[in-house]
Amino acid sequence: MTDEKEFIDAQNRNPHLKEYLQTKGLEKPDFYVQLDRSLKGLDFPNVMYPVGDPIFIHILRRPGENETQYIAVEPQLTPRETEMFNKISDQLIKIAHSMDTSDTTEDLSDILVNLMNQLVTVGGKPVAADEKKGFFENLKSQMGGGSRINLTQAEYDKIKYFLIRERVGYGILEPLLRDPYIEDIHCIGVARVYTIHKIFEMVATNIIFNTDLQLDKYVFDSSERVERPVSEAYPVVDAIMPDGSRVNFIYGREVSLEGSSFTIRKFSKVPISVTQLVNWHTFPAELAAYMWLCLENGMSIFICGETASGKTTTLNALSAFIKPDAKVYSVENTPEVTMPHPAWQHLVTRESGKETDVDMMRLLVAALRSRPNYIIVGEIREKEGNIAFQAMQTGHPVMSTFHAGDPHKMIQRMTGHPINVPISAIDNLNVVLIQQAVYLHGKFVRRVLSVTELIKFYDELGKVGTATVFEWVPATDEFGFLGYHNSYILEEKIARLLGYKDVRGIYDELEFRAAILNKMISEGIFNYFDVWEIIKSYYYKGKEGLPFPV
């Protein structure tokens, strides 16, 4: 449902938006405060949404056009405003270099605005002064008594936006980093920037790096800001952006013929919930309920798939099923795991090519010494996989993601170099979930292809026995519960652990939990932390803790 009133209010607050909408030949877009997944089916989208004033995103594809456009609508400086912006920037640099900021606890953007306010007047009047003592009390002496720059209110608002964008924000990429619907940002040389949108998939933006100098400067400045500077000696750098997003920088034409480039994997502060994934048909409620029972009862689980298959999204969603009073340790190269548990220790590697580096192996060993109830490894790539299996052998359940297209390839990679887990130890892992991005009805969607149980290592055969409990059927886009009344993990491990006299009684509990999840979906409960509160309440109070009848 479009939000017409909010659209009118947005235009009144932002003259540049109203001006953009008057562009010749532009049809009025549908305005949404929040996007809905149903928009994915539009062949010719004409959709606009806000990402925080003064930025708005316009998604547009006209009949006859091949590409969907991603247009970031933001203020533009006139030549006069650019001149004043540069003058104010130069003054701020002089002031900032001569001031002691060691004792201030103010946000950098607040400091920047306060400094700017001392340099300008708006409509001939001073901007409201900052009354705080200490940091600004000697500002006049630092300015040398120079005259202030007079601005109109519109000029002030635009220059303030660009000062914050360029000095504190992400510069030309500010709209993309603000947009919660973007998964990845791609720039390959002097060219247009592309993004992977959660709803509209690959889209071409109106953000362009026009010269090598502009692009090289952006890559160099951005890498310095995250304390992993690129150089001719170190042209390839992986780093974490201030908002938690993961970035790979490649600097210069010596190693990249198209010129400097970068790829940013966006970080989402609020994970996608398990009810949202069920609603999107990534997997059914019965599969989620199966995972709920597994994670509640200390089963070790690997979520496998190829790149961009949604492994970490599924891991974050399912981790809400771990008991709320569990002590959880997560170990990652880049922080992508989000846990709602109060006793969560979040460990991240430190890698800069120095002797003081801390790798995954050291963090996993540290986690084992702390006796956690669950260890979550963001992604197993190399020899840390061996430590993860040692943790399973000593009774520490592990949850992790891994690059593999099916359970047998997962076993091959785990037992091969450089991970080298003995084949006889593989059955310490209980469940393997395979997820992929698949092309369905003309769109890429994510589906869990299978859930497989690892039953036992057969010494005489030198193989691990497996059984498929869930399987996706591409022809119907449905899921078969092959393990119903035939699940080794549910019957022989979990049901016996819980003391069921009839082990098949565990399926009644599974169906009840699936009904809880379906009820949340019918009630529109999709926020990750709202879902977590209901799961937590069920753990503590049982059926009486649910906010609705099931």
* Least confident interval from 354-368, 388-402, 515-529: 354-368
Burial 65-90 (b: 16+ CB within 10 A, else e): eeebbbbbbbbebeeebeebbeebbe
pLDDT of res. 336: 85
pLDDT for residue 138 is more than 70: no
Tell me the β-bridge partners of 437: 446
CA–CA gap between residue 463 and residue 109 (Å, rounded): 60
Note whether 147 and 194 are within 8 A (CB): no
How large is the angle between the packed helices 108-119 and 153-167, nearest 10 degrees? Answer: 140
* Burial class of residue 162 in the structure, from the number of CB atoms within 10 Å of its CB (0-12 exposed, 13-18 middle, 19+ buried): buried
pLDDT for residue 82 is more than 90: yes
In sign, the C-alpha dihedral spanning 403, 406, 410, 416 is negative
pLDDT digits (tens, 9 = 90+) for 471-486: 999 999 999 999 999 9
Tell me the one-letter amino acid at 322: I
How high is the mean pLDDT of the chain? 91
Note whether 51 and 180 are within 8 A (CB): yes
Distances in Å between the alpha carbon of 250 and those of 222, 335, 354, 407, 475?
Answer: 12, 21, 20, 34, 42
Pairing of strands 374-377, 328-332: parallel
pLDDT of res. 353: 59
The mean pLDDT value for 450-464 works out to: 94
pLDDT digits (tens, 9 = 90+) for 11-27: 999 999 999 999 999 99
Q: What residues does each domain of the chain span?
A: 35-208, 274-545
Note whether 317 and 277 are within 8 A (CB): yes
Residue 525 pLDDT level (bands cut at 50, 70, 90): very high
pLDDT for residue 442 is more than 60: yes
Distances in Å between the alpha carbon of 23 and those of 20, 33, 44, 520?
Answer: 5, 22, 19, 44
pLDDT for residue 414 is more than 60: yes
Instruction: State both tokens at 400.
Output: 């992790």
Can you give the length of the chain in residues? 550
Cβ neighbours around 394 below 10 Å, total: 10
* DSSP-derived secondary structure for 449-473: EEEEEEEEEETTTTEEEEEEEEEEE
Distances in Å between the alpha carbon of 178 and those of 59, 123, 412?
Answer: 15, 31, 41
Question: H/E/C letters for each residue in 311-378?
Answer: HHHHHHHHHHHCCCCCCEEEEECCCCCCCCCCCEEEEECECCCCCCCECHHHHHHHHHHCCCCEEEEC
Note whether 378 and 400 are within 8 A (CB): yes
Residue 443 pLDDT level (bands cut at 50, 70, 90): confident
pLDDT for residue 143 is more than 60: no
Residue 91 pLDDT level (bands cut at 50, 70, 90): confident
Task: Return the closest-CA partner of residue 118 out of 138, 98, 103, 102.
Answer: 138
CA–CA gap between residue 453 and residue 305 (Å, rounded): 16
pLDDT for residue 103 is more than 50: no
Residue 131 pLDDT level (bands cut at 50, 70, 90): very low
pLDDT digits (tens, 9 = 90+) for 208-222: 999 999 999 999 999
pLDDT for residue 137 is more than 70: no
Task: Return the closest-CA partner of residue 298 out of 277, 327, 271, 274.
Answer: 327
Tell me the β-bridge partners of 182: 197
Task: Return the closest-CA partner of residue 454 out of 421, 493, 481, 480.
Answer: 493
Note whether 196 and 162 are within 8 A (CB): no
pLDDT digits (tens, 9 = 90+) for 24-42: 999 999 999 999 888 988 9
Task: Say which CATH architecture domain 274-545 belongs to.
Answer: 3-Layer(aba) Sandwich (3.40)
Percent of the chain with pLDDT over 70: 93
pLDDT for residue 6 is more than 60: yes
SS3 398: strand
pLDDT of res. 243: 81
Task: Say which CATH architecture domain 35-208 belongs to.
Answer: 2-Layer Sandwich (3.30)
The mean pLDDT value for 57-84 works out to: 95
Residue 102 pLDDT level (bands cut at 50, 70, 90): very low
The mean pLDDT value for 389-410 works out to: 94
Q: Do 35-208 and 274-545 have matching folds?
A: no
* Burial class of residue 247 in the structure, from the number of CB atoms within 10 Å of its CB (0-12 exposed, 13-18 middle, 19+ buried): buried
Distances in Å between the alpha carbon of 232 and those of 154, 229, 252, 253?
Answer: 42, 10, 7, 10
pLDDT for residue 129 is more than 90: no
pLDDT of res. 293: 98
pLDDT for residue 145 is more than 80: no
